[in-house]
C-alpha cells in the first residue's frame, strides 16, 4: 500500500541557533517521517519556533503559560488531514539532551506524535488511549529505523 500524499510547508522562525535545527530537519526526512505517520493524504505546516513564540501559542490556545515541545492545531481529518504542527526548538533541544537522544531522533518522535494528534489520536483521554498512541508511535518510529523513544 503506498504512503499517503503530503503537501508540506516547513517553516523556521528566526532564532539564535536555527542552523542547528535546520540541519536536524532536512525536508526530505521530515516528509518521510510524516508520511509514515499518516493514514490519509495531508496538508501540513511544520513550524519551528523559539521559546517566546512557543509560550505565547501554548498560553493563548491551551491556557498553559509555558513553552511546550509540540503543539498540534488540527483543522480537518477527512477527506484530507489538515493541521499545523508547531515545535519549540529550545524545548526540543533541552529534552533531547536530557533524554540522551539526538536532536534528529527527538524531532522525528515529536513530528510523528503531532501527526497522530492531527488524526484524532489523544493520549490525555485515558490510560488505554495513551498506551495505544504510544504503541503506534513506537511502531512507526521502529519502521523508520529509530529506537523506542520511551525506552529508559
Does 150 fall in a domain? Answer: no
Query: How far is residue 92's CA from residue 110's CA, in Å, rounded to a whole number?
Result: 9
Domain extent at residue 39: 6-143
Q: Write down the pTM of the prediction.
A: 0.96
Residue 149 resides in a domain = no
**Would the annotation count 21 as a binding residue?**
no
Question: Residue 152 domain-assigned?
Answer: no
Ligand-binding annotation for 117, yes or no, is yes
Which residues are within 8 A (CB) of 82 and not within 5 positions of it... i.e. 6 or more apart? 42, 43, 44, 74, 75, 76, 118
Residue 148 is assigned to a structural domain of this protein: no
The DSSP result for 10-54, as a single string, is EEE---TTHHHHHHH--HHHHHHHHHHH-SS-EEEEEEEE-HHHH
The per-residue pLDDT string of the chain (152 residues; one tens digit each, 9 = 90 and over) reads: 799 999 999 999 999 999 999 999 999 999 999 999 999 999 999 999 999 999 999 999 999 999 999 999 999 999 999 999 999 999 999 999 999 999 999 999 999 999 999 999 999 889 999 999 999 999 999 999 999 999 86
**1 in any annotated domain:** no
Domain count, the chain: 1
- Is 106 labeled as ligand-binding? no
CATH number at residue 117: 3.40.390.30
Amino acid at each position: 500500500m503506498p504512503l499517503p500524499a503530503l503537501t508540506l510547508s516547513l517553516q523556521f522562525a528566526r532564532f539564535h541557533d536555527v542552523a542547528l535545527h535546520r540541519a536536524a530537519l532536512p525536508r526530505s526526512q521530515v516528509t518521510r517521517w510524516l508520511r509514515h505517520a499518516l493514514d490519509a493524504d495531508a496538508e501540513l505546516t511544520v513550524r519551528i519556533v523559539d521559546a517566546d513564540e512557543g509560550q505565547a501559542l501554548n498560553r493563548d490556545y491551551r491556557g498553559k503559560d509555558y513553552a511546550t515541545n509540540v503543539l498540534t492545531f488540527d483543522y480537518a481529518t477527512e477527506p484530507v488531514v489538515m493541521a499545523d504542527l508547531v515545535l519549540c526548538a529550545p524545548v526540543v533541544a533541552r529534552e533531547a539532551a536530557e533524554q540522551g537522544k539526538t536532536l534528529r531522533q527527538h524531532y522525528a518522535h515529536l513530528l510523528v506524535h503531532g501527526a497522530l494528534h492531527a488524526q484524532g489520536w489523544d493520549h490525555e483521554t485515558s490510560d488505554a488511549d495513551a498506551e495505544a498512541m504510544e504503541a503506534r508511535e513506537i511502531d512507526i518510529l521502529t519502521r523508520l529505523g529509530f529506537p523506542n523513544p520511551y525506552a529508559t
